Structure 1
Amino acid sequence: MKKYLLFLLISIFLNIAFGDVTITVPAVSKTDYGYVGTTINIDVRVSNGSGHVFIDTLPVTEMDMQSSARIAAKVAFDVCNKNQKDYDVYYIVRSKVPIVGGPSAGGALCVATIAELNNWSINRDVMMTGMIYPDGGIGPVGGILEKLKAAKVAGARYFLIPYGERYVTLEGLSTEGGNTTIDVVEYGKKLGVKVVEVRSIYDAIYYFTNYTLVEENYTSNPILEEAYRRKMKNLADEVLKLTENSYNYVNDRLNNNLNVGLNYQMETNLKKRLKECSNDLKMAKKLYSQGYYYAATSKAFGVMINLETINTTLNYIESTDKRSYLKNYLINIQEDIENKKKIIKNKKLTKNNFEYILASKSRIYESEDLIDKAWKEYYNDNPFSAIEYASYGKWRGKSAIWWLGLSSDEGILPDGEHIDEYQLMPLAQKYLDNAEVVVLYCSMVLPETGLIEDAEEKLDKAKEYYEKGEYLLSITESIDAYVYATTYLNYNTDTDYLKERAEKRIYKVMGKYRYLPVSAMGYYEYANSFNNTFYKALYYKYSIAYAQMDIDILKEINHNYTGEGNFFILRNLSSSPGTICSVNNHGFYAVVIDIAYLFIGLFCGVLLGYFIGKNNN
């Protein structure tokens, strides 16, 4: 009898603990007539392991889905407060036709992984499309209408799409041959499918599992916020003073002195540029008075570059040996950049200063690229273009040292342990893979434009840094690439929501990790200084991405943080007023599946125990 009971319990445990979660995901398939919708089945299994993510696709997708799978797994473990390094995750993807792979299944993969980690059932009549961001946000995808139709054919009653993609524009389908805008929600009603926009994995998990996940809640850290304001104010004071002195000098030189070598057109252009400097300097001072110190510094920095260009142009024109003057100017800047590069290289990387060293390295490498471009223009006999690049490169190099100087925490935080940058190689690879798939996906489903070209350039830079062992820089260039690419696909105009997400990420870094997320706070402040919706959204997204980068890096280097945070799971047993989905029906299906698994386990356990007991007798 004891043997029967033992094997019964073992069988039940195996069914519950190691049963796969299967989710159906809408996708697109490329045919001779264009893209058409289809569905794929993905089995997800989690077992004890060492942090690997495996994916098996049949047939092979046109794009690598490995990156989406990695990000999906990472977010799932973060949400569930589990250490991914203790598990292996398997994704088995099956489709009847070849599909276009990429990031669009990322959100669904994350949902299925969370369900598998918690032994939850998946509601079969819910389907979803949307990429997954490292912070748990759901990002834009293409082929919404094709996927919606495929979901309907597959029996979906609910179709989740990324927030901001309710309206899809189709080119050349109106009666006049112009563009037509389709309301996906209304189109879904005609098909009998309820279309719901979701912003994050926290929204999506509810529809699939009837569980509500409540994020960790952190509040502002006054000490760290004050440290940020002091650092940014001190930097703004220095840069504004330099800029104002430079403006007064250049203004006096251009307007009060007789510039013999200037022709009328050039003098007019330089004075117009100086007027723009005056306006921007006033704006920088206004931002400073409003407490936007980072934004004020950025605006003043742009003024300084323009003033350097004007002043150097005057020097060049007044020079008796113009080519020799310009050559010496370039040599002096290049030598100065090399000296600054050595200073930055000798700075020890620690847990508390990696953001400042990252900012310094990024700027010094950019200044190197700019001076290289200046030399090319010099040898191509384009002196004024050479001056433009050299002026920018000179001050970019100076800004690298400014950021390095901000790394002094002035007693706010300990110096921190030394970091071997090689520790960040796996994380850099994940960020690089994610950016590569997103950029490639954009280039396939949308026409080539300047923004996607910028994303591709950033991606190439990320690969270059990775190969050089500059893993921190590779991560930031990867962030740039996927922010550009996703912005090109679509951008979330709900700036209030993005602002809230940025705040939550920043507060989490400060509250959970006791770290000052200076870049994320800078981008957050910069976003607040804009009235333009696009730029507000763009820089809030940067703020979210950089705060998440801090979290990922601190976890990667095993930074000690304060506890696991609060993680609430609430089961919805009945619908409430205003609830979008029919929770009762979904809950019924989930309960039926759970009961079915239980009886299968009981049956297998009894059978196994019976035969073993019979053999022993």
Structure 2
Amino acid sequence: MKKLLTLLFLFILLNTTFAVIIKAPAVSLTDMGPEGVPISIQINVSKGNGHVFMDTLPLTQLDMQGSARIAAKVAGEITGKDMNKYNVYITVRSDVPVVGGPSAGATMTIGIICALMNWSINHNVMMTGTINPDGSIGPVGGILEKIEAAKKANCTIMLIPKGQRYVTENNMKIDAVKFGEKLGVKVIEVGSIYEALPYFTNKKITMKKYPENPIIEEKYQKIMKDLCDKILKTANEKYDNISNELNNEYFGYNYQNKLSSELKEAKKLLDKANDEYMDEKYYSATCSAFNALIKLETIDHTIKYLTGEEDIKTYLNNVQNQIDYDKKVVYSKNLTLNNFEEILSGRVRISEAESLLDKAWKSYYLGNYEDAIKYGSFAKLRGESAIWWVTLCEINCNDSNNKIINESSLKSLAQQYLDNAETITTYVETLYPNLVSDDVLDDLESAKKAYNEGDYVLTIAKSIDTCVEAEIPLVIFEDKDYLNYLDSFSKNKINMAETIGINPISALGYYEYANSLNDSLLKIMYYKYSSYYAQMDIDIVKELNKDNKGIKESFDNEINIINTNENIVNAEESTKENNNIAIIISAIVGGLIGFVGGYIAKKVST
């Protein structure tokens, strides 16, 4: 009997942890407009098998489950814990109905980290921000209302996502830092969980800096140069042919002027591509040359239409047949660890080609023939570019890592990315109905369709597109330091992917392209794409190599924890408060153990 009681005691003790209680700001939609309110989040972590349980009361207006799963994933990666060996229990309580969803994602991540590490929380700090799979903190709405919520909760520090210091309200730009000062709340921008953690814990987990892999970088350069050579050659030849044709034909003043103007724009893009090629910026050169090619293709088929050489409906049918063929070729290729980046690029481009062709047909039936030709030409080239990508893989990939991927093994990961995309889109749409574009909704629908068809790598890619495009309108860029941060963060994620031998072509390409742009908002967007895609590579490799110790050791090295007092206010009092809570919970657990043990002993003795 004593052995039974001892085992019972150990089972309960090993599977029970002290609760971490953390406050978060939320927005309640009232008759008087949006109002900031504090909510309480309690987090327990126990030994388990990778489940995340959510309990909200009252029910939030948006599902928080997707954000909770991403939060648990990121917390595990930052702490070096295998989350497949834990269960996470999250209890959310609020006095009023609130708009939930992803805005508490970063806060939940902090709470899970503290539960895993048994760290106390500084209750004078509050934070808002979504949590992205790469550990970055994404933008949210209702910044000013949430600062007011921090004031109501007697918090003296409010952390907000980087890039959101300036808020536009009623056509007026408001500085969130100065707004907080008036309320006695210090507002600080943070870009990642690594930056936010010290404010809550007096502890800093340093993000490991991964070195660049010269072999992979060289391989990337070779692949992109081969692709760029092909597209530049095609575009330059097409430009010469169309220039001659325009000089020998006359289509009336308006058309002649319009086509000549488009040809000049194509020439500018080609010149830009040639300059970028000489600077060895092959991805950027490829993008510029491809955009020139789209214009040239459009001019070419507009001329054919004007001269009666080609009927638009026949042209679109031909494009449809070509895309159908291209799709069969792309999807006939086996997906392996060695080529999934290139195959994914092909699948993404086929999906885009189908979407563009759909727009072409809609324009045609509405009688807008110019747009029908433009979208049809773009669709045709998108389909062709899919073939370019998978062909490049066959030329440049070796057979050393050609194990075929069973795509069903990526279903769970695809579901996480899709949930996150859907939650973020719904969140933005709820707070700012006019900010969610048709392209965002189209990408989300494409992600859902791909998931239902079992195309899980395409699901992940389309989910990434959805997240980035939904987030960008929330960012009002003012600080150049933010760009430097994104640059460094993205490059380190790329280097991290290279550490395990992956050639993160998409991430490297987006990173290079971001650095070639002058527009700050576009730079932010492509830096985000870069880090998202690098994280995708890492996630896929981890998912497919769960039992591979070599892969695991590449990431799960001992974490570096540093004690710090950086910008922390009254942390000692918060620690005492948290310890008191822990003592109470410990007493309750002890009482339960004693009661259950006594009850069993009594039943046995009788």
TM-score relative to the length of structure 2: 0.90
Partner secondary structure for residue 64 of structure 1: coil
Kindly indicate whether the alpha-carbon contact (under 8 Å) linking 2:80 and 2:557 is maintained by their aligned counterparts in 1. no
Tell me the equivalent position of 2:168. Answer: 169
Partner secondary structure for residue 525 of structure 2: helix
Tell me the equivalent position of 1:496. Answer: 484
Of the three residues 449, 467, 483, the one matched with 1:464 is 449
Of the three residues 303, 309, 317, the one matched with 2:292 is 303
Alignment of 1:228-377 (within 5 A): 228-255=220-247, 257=248, 259=249, 262-319=251-308, 322-323=310-311, 326-377=312-363
Alignment of 1:186-265 (within 5 A): 186-255=178-247, 257=248, 259=249, 262-265=251-254
Q: Return the alpha-carbon distance in structure 2 between the equivalents of residues 284 and 395 of structure 1.
A: 17
1:193 alignment partner AA: V
Partner secondary structure for residue 298 of structure 1: helix
Q: Return the alpha-carbon distance in structure 2 between the equivalents of residues 243 and 155 of structure 1.
A: 62
Alignment of 1:444-593 (within 5 A): 444-449=430-435, 452-491=437-476, 493=479, 494-511=482-499, 513-558=500-545, 560=548, 561=551, 563=553, 564-572=555-563, 575=565, 579-582=566-569, 585-587=570-572, 589-590=574-575, 593=578
Tell me the equivalent position of 2:100. Answer: 101
1:128 aligns with 2:121: no
Partner secondary structure for residue 90 of structure 2: strand
Kindly indicate whether the alpha-carbon contact (under 8 Å) linking 2:421 and 2:466 is maintained by their aligned counterparts in 1. yes
Tell me the equivalent position of 1:49. Answer: 48
1:387 aligns with 2:385: no
Kindly indicate whether the alpha-carbon contact (under 8 Å) linking 1:431 and 1:479 is maintained by their aligned counterparts in 2. yes
Distance 1:571 1:10, change over 3 A: farther
Query: How far is the alpha carbon of 1:330 from its aligned partner?
Result: 3.2
Unmatched runs of 5 consecutive residues or more in structure 1: 172-178
Partner secondary structure for residue 482 of structure 1: helix
Query: How far is the alpha carbon of 1:508 from its aligned partner?
Result: 0.4
Q: Return the alpha-carbon distance in structure 2 between the equivalents of residues 541 and 440 of structure 1.
A: 20
Alignment of 1:83-162 (within 5 A): 83-162=82-161
TM-score relative to the length of structure 1: 0.89
Tell me the equivalent position of 1:73. Answer: 72
Identity among equivalent positions (%) equals 45
Q: Return the alpha-carbon distance in structure 2 between the equivalents of residues 415 and 343 of structure 1.
A: 22
Kindly indicate whether the alpha-carbon contact (under 8 Å) linking 1:7 and 1:606 is maintained by their aligned counterparts in 2. no
Q: Return the alpha-carbon distance in structure 1 between the equivalents of residues 158 and 506 of structure 2.
A: 36
Of the three residues 419, 426, 432, the one matched with 2:405 is 419
Of the three residues 442, 452, 462, the one matched with 2:428 is 442
Q: Return the alpha-carbon distance in structure 1 between the equivalents of residues 83 and 430 of structure 2.
A: 32
Q: CA-to-partner distance for each residue in 1:116-147, whole Å, 9 max, x for gaps?
A: 11111111222111111111111111222222
Root-mean-square deviation (Å): 3.0
Q: Return the alpha-carbon distance in structure 1 between the equivalents of residues 589 and 457 of structure 2.
A: 52
Q: Return the alpha-carbon distance in structure 2 between the equivalents of residues 155 and 383 of structure 1.
A: 61
Q: Return the alpha-carbon distance in structure 2 between the equivalents of residues 409 and 47 of structure 1.
A: 49
Query: How far is the alpha carbon of 1:33 from its aligned partner?
Result: 0.7
Q: Return the alpha-carbon distance in structure 2 between the equivalents of residues 434 and 599 of structure 1.
A: 36
2:404 alignment partner AA: H
Kindly indicate whether the alpha-carbon contact (under 8 Å) linking 2:41 and 2:90 is maintained by their aligned counterparts in 1. yes
2:529 alignment partner AA: Y
Q: CA-to-partner distance for each residue in 1:464-518, whole Å, 9 max, x for gaps?
A: 222222222221111111111111111555211100011010000001x210110
1:166 alignment partner AA: R
Kindly indicate whether the alpha-carbon contact (under 8 Å) linking 2:16 and 2:46 is maintained by their aligned counterparts in 1. no
Q: Return the alpha-carbon distance in structure 1 between the equivalents of residues 589 and 313 of structure 2.
A: 84
Query: Paired residues, what number?
Result: 593
Q: CA-to-partner distance for each residue in 1:435-468, whole Å, 9 max, x for gaps?
A: 112111112222414x533222221222222222
Q: Return the alpha-carbon distance in structure 1 between the equivalents of residues 102 and 586 of structure 2.
A: 36
- Structure number with bigger Rg: 1
Q: Return the alpha-carbon distance in structure 1 between the equivalents of residues 48 and 217 of structure 2.
A: 40
Q: CA-to-partner distance for each residue in 1:373-424, whole Å, 9 max, x for gaps?
A: 4344445554433322222122111111111022237466723321122222
Partner secondary structure for residue 188 of structure 2: strand
Partner secondary structure for residue 136 of structure 1: coil
Query: How far is the alpha carbon of 1:17 from its aligned partner?
Result: 5.3
Q: Return the alpha-carbon distance in structure 2 between the equivalents of residues 197 and 543 of structure 1.
A: 21
Unmatched runs of 5 consecutive residues or more in structure 2: none
Distance 1:418 1:198, change over 3 A: same
Kindly indicate whether the alpha-carbon contact (under 8 Å) linking 2:504 and 2:534 is maintained by their aligned counterparts in 1. yes
Q: Return the alpha-carbon distance in structure 2 between the equivalents of residues 203 and 471 of structure 1.
A: 32
Larger deviation, residues 206-215 vs 550-559:
550-559
Partner secondary structure for residue 408 of structure 1: helix
